[in-house]
Amino acid sequence: MCTICGCSETQAATYTVPGAHAHTHDHDHEHGHAHEHDHDHGHTHTHAPAEDPHAVLHAAMHGRTIALEQDILAKNKVLAERNRGWFEGREVLALNLMSSPGSGKTSLLERTIHALKNEMNIYVVEGDQAGTNDAERIRATGCAVIQVNTGAGCHLEADMLARSMQQLNPRSGSLVLIENVGNLICPALFDLGERAKVVVISVTEGDDKPTKYPHMFRACRLMLINKIDLLPHVRFDVDRCIARAREVNPDIHVLQVSAETGQGMEPWYQWLRRELAGQPTFAPT
Amino acid sequence: MHELSITHGIVAICAERAGTERVTCVRLEIGQLSAVLPDAVRFCFDICAKGTVVEGAILEIIETPGRALCRDCNGEVAMTQLFGRCRCGSANLRVIAGEELKIREMELA
């Protein structure tokens, strides 16, 4: 079982490249490393404990205490760092986009791809519990995409991203946009190895979301306030939302956009260009 | 209740490290800002440990209080949630303790 959300250990995550055949892997939480080789050979592996096995044996004989000092989420963190190194080696900018369901992440990606596809190579990883609708929408833009269905899981994990990258094989210097499962809780706790986490909040939600879900807003470097074309029709207070986000995360950058009308999108594209070029980010509101 | 699955993870890590030995005590460190409730972990522990080498082990939880440093006046602030305000009025805080989610040690029989 997943250590955060209770998703089933035996539940398989599914990887689908739209237009290609479906492909299934076990969603195994017990491995501390990624596999890049087949396990078809006829013997089993023993995974050695991280501490000296003699110490365990000695302790067993004398009733001693074993210092573990182990982060409960350590396995995912190790895999995430592997991904981070992989991206750095290829000068790939990987961004982890997170939000509640329905904030407009996929629409934001569609518009971004249309605007930028002639100036950079873009790849998309779509995370959803089920279905390939989002991947089909991205595919229609002409962008390479893989759909990860987490089954009972409510977030993407580092090993899922590693497998997705093996399939997508992004070119050096490209942009990888990861659309995480719509959920403001668990995805915040699972590092994927991305350069930055980006949270999308739409003005049809409450402007108090940052203080309701502080872990998420604290983990993110950028907050995109989406659907600003609807502001005249809703009670969402942009200033209050930003103030609350800054209470949780004083360093968070904020951009206001409408993926529907295109309003405010240019600063987001500039943010992407600067990040891709490895330049420090500016901090407008 | 994500504590059930967190506790499953804790038992799995301890069982993996212990091998065939019996675990008699597990000590955790759970920060008060970690979004994990110690009482809920205690509630789940015996259920998760059942049928493993961790079954029957005593669970001890050290709760680390939340602390932050004010980035404006450099004062220390006690935190009961992930955000707050310094006595100087600033909300520009850096959390320095309270987010731990760690298995400190275990005892084998």
Q: Look-up: residue for tokens 């440093």?
A: B69
Residue pair A212/A241 in contact by the 8 Å Cβ criterion: no
Question: Where do the domains of chain B lie, and which CATH numbers do they carry?
Answer: 3-66+98-108 (3.30.2320.50)
What's the pLDDT tens digit per position in B13-62?
999 999 999 999 999 999 999 878 899 899 999 999 999 999 999 999 99
| Residues contacting A78, CB < 8 A, separation 6+ | A32, A33
B38-49 vs B3-18: helix crossing angle, rounded to 10: 50
Q: Which residues, at least 6 apart from A136, have a Cβ–Cβ distance to it below 8 Å?
A: A18
Give, in order, the Cα–Cα distances in Å from B24 to each of A64, A67, A143, B107.
Answer: 10, 14, 54, 5
The answer to whether the CB atoms of B109 and A1 lie below 8 A apart is no
Cα angle A100-B96-A95, degrees, rounded to a multiple of 5: 35
Q: What is the largest CA-CA distance in chain A?
A: 72
Q: What is the ipTM of this complex?
A: 0.81
In this structure, are strands A93-99 and A196-202 parallel, antiparallel, or unpaired? parallel
φ and ψ at residue A159, rounded to 5 degrees: -70, -30
Instruction: Judge contact between B69 and B96, C-beta under 8 A.
Output: yes
Q: Can you say whether the dihedral through the CA atoms of A176, A181, A183, A187 is positive or negative?
A: negative
Closest CA to B14 of B100, B98, B107: B107
Which of A66, A155, A190 to probe by mutation at the B interface, max B CB count within 10 Å?
Answer: A66
Q: Which of B56, B55, B57 is nearest to B26 (CA)?
A: B57
C-alpha span between B38 and B66 (Å, rounded): 14
3-state SS, one letter per residue, for A181-203: CCCCCHHHHCCCCCCEEEEEEEC
For residue B70, give the nearest of B53, B54, B89 by alpha carbon.
B89
How many Cβ contacts (< 8 angstroms) between chains A and B? 104
Q: Tens place of pLDDT for every residue, chain A, 285 residues?
A: 444 555 554 456 889 988 775 445 544 444 444 444 444 444 444 444 445 666 656 555 567 899 999 888 787 889 999 999 999 999 999 999 999 999 999 999 999 999 999 999 999 999 998 999 999 999 999 999 999 998 867 789 899 999 999 999 999 999 999 999 999 988 888 899 999 999 999 999 999 999 999 999 999 999 999 999 999 999 999 999 999 999 899 899 999 999 999 999 999 999 999 999 987 554 443
Rounded-to-integer distance, Cα A72 and Cα A79, Å: 14
Rounded Cα–Cα distance for residues A38 and A249 (Å):
43
Of B8, B93, B104, the CB nearest to A69: B104
Chain A closest-CA separation from residue B75 CA (Å): 16
Which residue is closest to A9 within chain B, CA to CA?
Answer: B5
Residue in B with minimal Cα distance to A248: B83
Q: Which of residues 43-102 of B touch A (CB under 8 A)?
A: 71, 81-83, 91-93, 101-102
pLDDT per position as a tens digit, A157-203: 899 999 999 999 999 999 999 999 999 988 888 899 999 999 999 99
Name the pairing type of β-strands A93-99 and A175-179: parallel
Asked if residue A141 lies in contact with residue A89, where contact means CB atoms within 8 angstroms, the answer is: no
Residue from the list B5, B81, B107 with its beta carbon closest to the beta carbon of A65: B107
